[in-house]
Amino acid sequence: MRTATHTAGTNADRPAHGALAAGAAASAPHTQAQTVATLRAGDQVDAVFACTRKERLIARSGSPYLTIELRDATGALRARAFEQADVLAGRFQRGELVRARGRVVRFRDELQIELREIASAGGDADADPTRFLPTSYRDRDELEGFLEHLAREVYDQQLAALLESLLGDPRLREQMRIAPCSLPGGHHGYLGGLLEHTVAVTTIALELCSLHPRLDRDLLLCAAIVHDLGKTREFTYGAEIARSREGRLIGHVQLGLRVIAEHVPSALHDERRLALEHCVMLHHGPEPSSGQRFATAEALALYRLNALDASLKGALEHGQASLQPCR
């Protein structure tokens, strides 16, 4: 929580209550989940939101108050708490899902919530992070179907057995459905982004193999499917998508190698496994400081295909194409 001294309005600057009393009284209890987009002046609010901003400010009278940003998939709304600000501040943190109770008022031509209560929504039945985070527009069931089809294009029995183990892990499959490729603002920075990116890179890899038949088709396809699996452990999901402790300290490449290691079948020969791990380790390019270099055409191809899809997606989403490999 950030503490700041800020000159704000006195009680006279607060939204007037009298003009809204009739509207508030007329508002019927909500029978379905309230969202930012559906709130109107006078509505009584009792709902779960993502808290994406939290500040303790000081009014001209010297009294502390809280200003908060509440967000869901439909938008964001400011909320303020004038009574018992410090008590309420201790009940939640920025980045959490919170249950907010209060009334919608109009202040300086903008809607906001005048809070009566606010606290962490941990354990609340409505506190599902996926309701509050950006999500892929692509149908994830359809993307999973494409991924399964692409996995069946790997005919090498050793690599096919690895993919069968990975895709047969229910917990990992669910993580793959949810995980983004980056924080919001980066390429595929939304729930389902990993699945979307993986399908795209593998599809392009399949086409590339028909143009360059000397490529080890099975190795490249398998590497494309598994190259970003570490992203299933790189992020946490609450009010916002954030990096996990593992993600910050180790990074998704090493995490991905761990995921693969947990599913490697005994039949996978050491040389085959090494070639696959080499592709995964270099899919963002070589690290000159470590002396790493591309040892196979497949590793080079995966690096280029990964950067191609990530850069194009970034250009389409944000209007700029990066000339550097996307992470």
69-107 residue pLDDT tens: 998 877 889 999 999 999 999 999 888 889 999 999 998
Stretch 297-320: mean pLDDT: 89
- The segment with the largest mean pLDDT, out of 5-14, 51-60, 133-142, 224-233, is 224-233
Say if residues 42 and 103 touch (Cβ distance below 8 Å). Answer: yes
Q: What whole-number percentage of the chain has pLDDT above 70?
A: 87
Residue 311's region, left for phi above 0, alpha for psi from -120 to 50, else beta, is alpha
Say if residues 173 and 232 touch (Cβ distance below 8 Å). Answer: no
Question: Is 128 within the bounds of a domain?
Answer: no
Task: Looking at the structure, tell me whether residues 93 and 162 fall in a common domain.
Answer: no
Task: Looking at the structure, tell me whether residues 93 and 146 fall in a common domain.
Answer: no
Task: Looking at the structure, tell me whether residues 239 and 112 fall in a common domain.
Answer: no
In the predicted structure, residue 152 carries a pLDDT above the cut 80: yes
pLDDT score recorded for residue 327: 55
Task: Looking at the structure, tell me whether residues 80 and 222 fall in a common domain.
Answer: no
Task: Looking at the structure, tell me whether residues 179 and 245 fall in a common domain.
Answer: yes
Here the CATH number for the domain that contains residue 146 is 1.10.3210
pLDDT score recorded for residue 289: 66
112-121 residue pLDDT tens: 999 999 999 8
pLDDT score recorded for residue 164: 97
The mean pLDDT value of the chain amounts to: 85
Distance, in Å, from the CA atom of 207 to the CA atom of 21, rounded to the nearest integer, reads 65
Lowest model confidence (mean pLDDT) among 35-39, 42-46, 122-126, 149-153: 122-126
For every residue of 95-116, DSSP letters joined together read TSEEEEEEEEEEETTEEEEEEE
In the predicted structure, residue 212 carries a pLDDT above the cut 60: yes
Stretch 276-285: mean pLDDT: 95
Cα dihedral sign, 262-220-224-282: positive
pLDDT-derived band of residue 320, with 50, 70 and 90 as boundaries? Answer: low
Burial of 32 (0-12, 13-18, 19+ CB in 10 A): exposed
CA-closest candidate to residue 195, choices 164, 174, 168: 174
Question: Is 127 within the bounds of a domain?
Answer: no
pLDDT-derived band of residue 3, with 50, 70 and 90 as boundaries? Answer: very low
Q: 272 forms bridges with which residues in the sheet? A: none
In the predicted structure, residue 167 carries a pLDDT above the cut 80: yes
Question: Is 126 within the bounds of a domain?
Answer: no
Task: Looking at the structure, tell me whether residues 151 and 258 fall in a common domain.
Answer: yes
Question: Is 25 within the bounds of a domain?
Answer: yes
- What 3-state class would DSSP assign to 62? coil
Question: Is 326 within the bounds of a domain?
Answer: no
Task: Looking at the structure, tell me whether residues 137 and 272 fall in a common domain.
Answer: yes
Domain housing 13 = 2-120
Question: Is 226 within the bounds of a domain?
Answer: yes
Single residue among 69, 87, 120 that ends a domain in this structure: 120
Single residue among 99, 120, 141 that ends a domain in this structure: 120
pLDDT-derived band of residue 240, with 50, 70 and 90 as boundaries? Answer: confident
State the DSSP H helix or E strand holding residue 67, giving kind and residue range, or none if neither: strand 64-72
11-68 residue pLDDT tens: 334 343 333 333 333 333 434 678 888 999 999 999 999 898 899 999 888 899 999 9
Question: Is 325 within the bounds of a domain?
Answer: no
Here the CATH number for the domain that contains residue 99 is 2.40.50.140
Task: Looking at the structure, tell me whether residues 103 and 156 fall in a common domain.
Answer: no
Single residue among 72, 99, 120 that ends a domain in this structure: 120
Say if residues 88 and 36 touch (Cβ distance below 8 Å). Answer: no
- Looking at the structure of the chain, the number of domains it has is 2
Task: Looking at the structure, tell me whether residues 116 and 139 fall in a common domain.
Answer: no
Task: Looking at the structure, tell me whether residues 271 and 155 fall in a common domain.
Answer: yes
CA-closest candidate to residue 311, choices 293, 299, 327: 327
Question: Is 227 within the bounds of a domain?
Answer: yes
Task: Looking at the structure, tell me whether residues 165 and 296 fall in a common domain.
Answer: yes
Task: Looking at the structure, tell me whether residues 137 and 106 fall in a common domain.
Answer: no
